[in-house]
């Protein structure tokens, strides 16, 4: 057994770190889009909007029922066969769209659960004073639901950050892709992937600390 080439690892760190902005950027854009989309999906389900409700149910079922990798491949390699215009789509865009759709399906279910967790009598009370459906969702229900859903959504964000590594399979050179390339030249696979793993780990741990801080703050706001 030969020892780890720590000097090589040290050289790799700045190279891989250079791709952190791309990873975080993809994750942030996908998360923001998924938050919007999943909220809409959840509201459609909660209000049982005719027709749309069934469409959303199928959407959620599909994106939860198939592997993310399969979805990304379908999206990037499969769909251009049907729609030639999509051939021009680059790997980063495809990955972000794929991640958005996939995580929207999961997040919609937890947002829906959080909305249903808001006591029904508060809906009625808001209606009783003459609020419209939109007003009562915006001012009464969603603020409470988001507080309940926040920890779960944070977990999805962490999962999303890690899942951006799959963009590598669409030809995107992100952290994982860069490590793969480096290792292909040096044959030091263990060192290269260890560096990637540790960097992911540190990012996620930092977020977990943030998450615990956020939960404490949200907890305080209700218990005043």
Partner 1 sequence: MKCEIDIAGLVKRFGTTTVLDGIDLCLKPGERVAIIGPSGTGKSTLLRCLNWLDAPDAGRITVGDLSVDAAHATRAQILALRRRTGFVFQNYALFANKTARQNIMEGLTTVRGWSTAKATARADEILAQIGLADRGGSYPAALSGGQQQRVGIGRAMALDADLLLFDEPTSALDPEWVGEVLDLIRSIADGRQTMLIVTHEMQFAREIADRIVFMEGGRIVEQGPPAQIFGDAQDERTRAFLRRVS
Residues in contact with partner 1 by the rule CB under 8 A:
118-119, 121-122, 124-132, 135, 139-140, 143-144, 147, 222-224
d(CA 179, CA 23): 13
Q: How many CB atoms lie within 10 A of CB 7?
A: 9
Q: Is the Cβ of residue 119 or residue 205 nearer to partner 1 in the bound state? A: 119
CB of 132 to partner 1, least distance (A): 7
Looking up tokens 């915006």, which residue turns up? Answer: 138
Q: Could you tell me the CA-to-CA distances from 186 to 104, 109, 197 in Å, in that order?
A: 39, 45, 18
Q: Is the Cβ of residue 90 or residue 124 nearer to partner 1 in the bound state? A: 124
Q: Is the Cβ of residue 64 or residue 138 nearer to partner 1 in the bound state? A: 138
Nearest to 214 by CA among 164, 163, 152: 152
Q: Is the Cβ of residue 67 or residue 143 nearer to partner 1 in the bound state? A: 143
CB of 117 to partner 1, least distance (A): 11
Nearest to 203 by CA among 162, 165, 174: 162
Q: Which structure tokens are listed for 17?
A: 């770190």
- The DSSP code for 89 is -
CB of 133 to partner 1, least distance (A): 10
CB of 214 to partner 1, least distance (A): 17
């Amino acid at each position: 057994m030969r020892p780890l080439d720590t000097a090589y690892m040290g050289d790799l760190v700045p190279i891989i770190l250079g791709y952190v902005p791309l990873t975080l950027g993809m994750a942030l854009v996908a998360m923001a889009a998924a938050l919007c989309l999943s909220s809409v999906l959840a509201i459609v389900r909660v209000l049982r909007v005719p027709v749309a409700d069934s469409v959303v149910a199928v959407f959620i079922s599909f994106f939860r029922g198939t592997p993310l990798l399969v979805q990304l491949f379908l999206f990037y390699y499969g769909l251009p066969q049907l729609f030639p215009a999509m051939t021009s789509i680059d790997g980063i865009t495809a990955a972000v769209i794929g991640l958005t759709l996939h995580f929207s399906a999961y997040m919609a279910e937890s947002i829906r659960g959080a909305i249903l967790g808001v006591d029904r009598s508060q809906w009625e009370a808001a209606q009783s004073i003459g609020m419209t459906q939109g007003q009562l969702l915006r001012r009464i229900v969603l603020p409470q639901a988001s507080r309940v859903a926040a920890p779960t959504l944070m977990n999805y964000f962490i999962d999303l950050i890690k899942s951006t590594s799959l963009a590598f399979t669409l030809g995107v050179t992100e952290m994982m892709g860069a490590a793969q390339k480096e290792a292909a030249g040096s044959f030091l696979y263990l060192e290269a992937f260890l560096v990637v793993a540790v960097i992911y780990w540190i990012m996620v741990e930092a977020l977990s600390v943030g998450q615990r801080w956020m939960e404490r703050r949200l907890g305080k706001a209700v218990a005043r």
